[in-house]
Amino acid sequence: MGNINLNTTSVEVRDHRIGTIISYHGSASQLVEESRGKSVREPKRTFTQCSDCSQGCAETLTYMIRGAAVVIHSPLGCCNPAVQYVAGQAGTQVRNLPPQKVQAISTNISIKETVYGGVAKLRTAVLEAYKRFSPSAIFVQSSCAAGIIGDDIESVADELEPELNIPIIPIYCEGFKSKTWASGFDAVFHGVLRKIVKEPKTKDKDLVNVFNFQGCDAFTPFFEKLGLKPNLVVPLSTVEMLARMSEAVCSTHICETLGTYVSEALEKKYGVVQVKAPSPYGIDWTDQWVRALCEATGRKEAGEKLIAAEHERIKEPLKKLREKLSGKKAYIFAGHSYAHNLANIARDLGMEVIGVTTLHHDQITDSDSEELNTLDKLVKSGGDIKNFSVCNRQPYIMVKLLKKIKPDVLLTRHNNIAVVGTKVGIASIRATDANVIALYDGVINLGNRILEGLSSQKFYDNVAAHVKLPYTQWWLQNEDPFLFETR
């Protein structure tokens, strides 16, 4: 199965498996070319202001699986259920689902366990999670401390699984193992594939796995137009929905970073076809995605009719948005392929994409398909992007990049990035819910958000006038945002 081996307890981290990098500056076309064969020479950053860890991405997926519990085998400071709780509650509301609690316990590894081992404490915590929550599955997340002392999480899971009669799924997401926090997504999917997904009892020719986050449900109404049903996984799904992933006819996702590893594994192991097209962001990519989806589900004619009808339906609002946004300059700062998605929509709206920064870059994907290489698609469909960089947040770099390039609007996904844009006086749009800006309506939705942001420019000017940035004059006046990167 290529890079995928479900017989091992943990998945190889992205850094090695698909050549993920976190530093680069140059052009998009150069990055595409150097990425073929994983030959990008990644600059070393000699100063780092902040970072994040794989466990955060693992939490994003596991905390909001309905009916499941999570045991975090770590010191207390490693887990942060509150953030996911807030995001998850918003998700349940927009999907009309009943409110849901995060069911999590930390083993609170202390100095004593780091010396004598923490397996006994882990066993107690798993039993406590079972008693308190009556869950349908328990995820056990590792951490740096658990990994360094070498606690045998697998044995605890194997020992307790028959006793509790539910899946107990070890997730190996130790922060030190990968410089890319997105490795936490792969760690969760690897655990789900090993321990939850079942051999298909039957095949459902209308069921499509859609790998997404806890956003609104834009997919069910769209799929109904084609007689399809989405299996929306992973956050807010149930353990039963995860077990049924093998019964779907095909899989698709809202970004390659999230969905390619699991989709590839489902295709290789259970014959669940991976939809080979960029995610449905922007008119042209949505057309390609609908065609690939309809080919995989045997609905080619219905797909062509739907494309024509959707183009007609959004023709007028799209025209108006293009008139207002044409020539406006956009800068994109977001996670790997989601940044490509945002850039493609911005171009669709007639905007000039004057720069993109992605939080990491995967040189290849887990699939062999060129159709999933969205950076290549972006360059081929809309031309090169001269100012293209890869940077794992780092506000000290962002401030300089934005001040230097001066876009009209900053498109982001993450809260802390939008704040940096706001502080330097740029209309900053936070497109957090990826589902809101997906499909044909998504282009209109993002266009309207951008117009709102531009109409508030006075607010951004005021914020910038009153904010004191925590950087020295030397750094702010220095021309080069990448001064601390060396090859």
Q: Which residues bind ligand SF4 (CB under 6 A)?
A: 53, 55, 74, 78, 143-144, 174-175
List the strands of the sheet with 23-26, edge to edge: 23-26, 388-391, 352-358, 329-334, 409-412, 427-430
Based on CB atoms, which residue is closest to ligand SF4, 23 or 142? 142
- Give the residue with the Cβ less far from ligand SF4, 144 or 318: 144
Residue indicated by tokens 């360059």: 379
Can you name the residues that pair with 332 across neighbouring β-strands?
356, 411
Closer to ligand SF4 by CB, 392 or 412: give it: 392
Alpha-carbon dihedral 386, 390, 394, 400, rounded to 10 degrees: -10
Residue 236 structure tokens = 């807010």
Residue 382 token pair: 């809309």
User: Least distance (Å) from ligand SF4 to the CB of residue 144?
Assistant: 3
- Cβ proximity to ligand SF4: between 143 and 373 the closer is 143
Cβ of 472: how many Cβ atoms within 10 Å? Answer: 9
What is the rounded CA–CA span in Å between residue 331 and residue 78?
33
Please, what is the minimum distance in Å from the beta carbon of residue 143 to ligand SF4?
4
Distance in Å, CB of 314 to ligand SF4, minimum = 43
Rounded to a whole number of angstroms, the minimum distance from the CB of residue 301 to ligand SF4 is 50
What is the DSSP code string of 374-401? HHHHHHHHH---SSEEEES--HHHHHHH
- One-letter amino acid identity for 67? G
CB of 182 to ligand SF4, least distance (A): 14
Least Cβ distance, residue 179 to ligand SF4 (angstroms): 11
Give whole-number Cα distances, 403 to 399, 413, 425, in Å.
6, 20, 9
The minimum distance between CB 355 and ligand SF4, in angstroms, equals 30
Least Å distance, CB 119 to ligand SF4, is 18
The beta strand positions in 145-206, using DSSP E, are 168-171
Burial class (CB in 10 A: 0-12, 13-18, 19+), 337: buried
Nearer to ligand SF4, 53 or 330 (CB): 53
Q: Please give the radius of gyration of the chain, using alpha carbons only, rounded to the nearest integer.
A: 22
> Smaller CB distance to ligand SF4: residue 144 or 399?
144
Residue 54 Cβ, how far from ligand SF4 at the closest point, in Å? 7
Q: Are 116 and 124 in contact (CB under 8 A)?
A: no
Which H or E run includes 251? strand 250-253
Report the residue number, 144 or 330, with the smaller CB distance to ligand SF4: 144
Whether residue 208 contacts residue 223, with contact meaning beta carbons closer than 8 Å, is answered with yes
Considering beta carbons, is residue 70 or 353 the nearer one to ligand SF4?
70
Nearer to ligand SF4, 21 or 53 (CB): 53
**Residue 26 to residue 46: CA distance in whole angstroms:** 18
β-strands 23-26, 388-391 pairing: antiparallel
Residue number with the shortest CB distance to ligand SF4?
175
- Residue 193 corresponds to which tokens in the numbers above? 């594939």
Closest C-alpha among 54, 9, 12, 8 to residue 168:
9
User: Minimum CB separation from ligand SF4 for residue 147, in Å?
Assistant: 8
175 versus 442: smaller Cβ distance to ligand SF4: 175
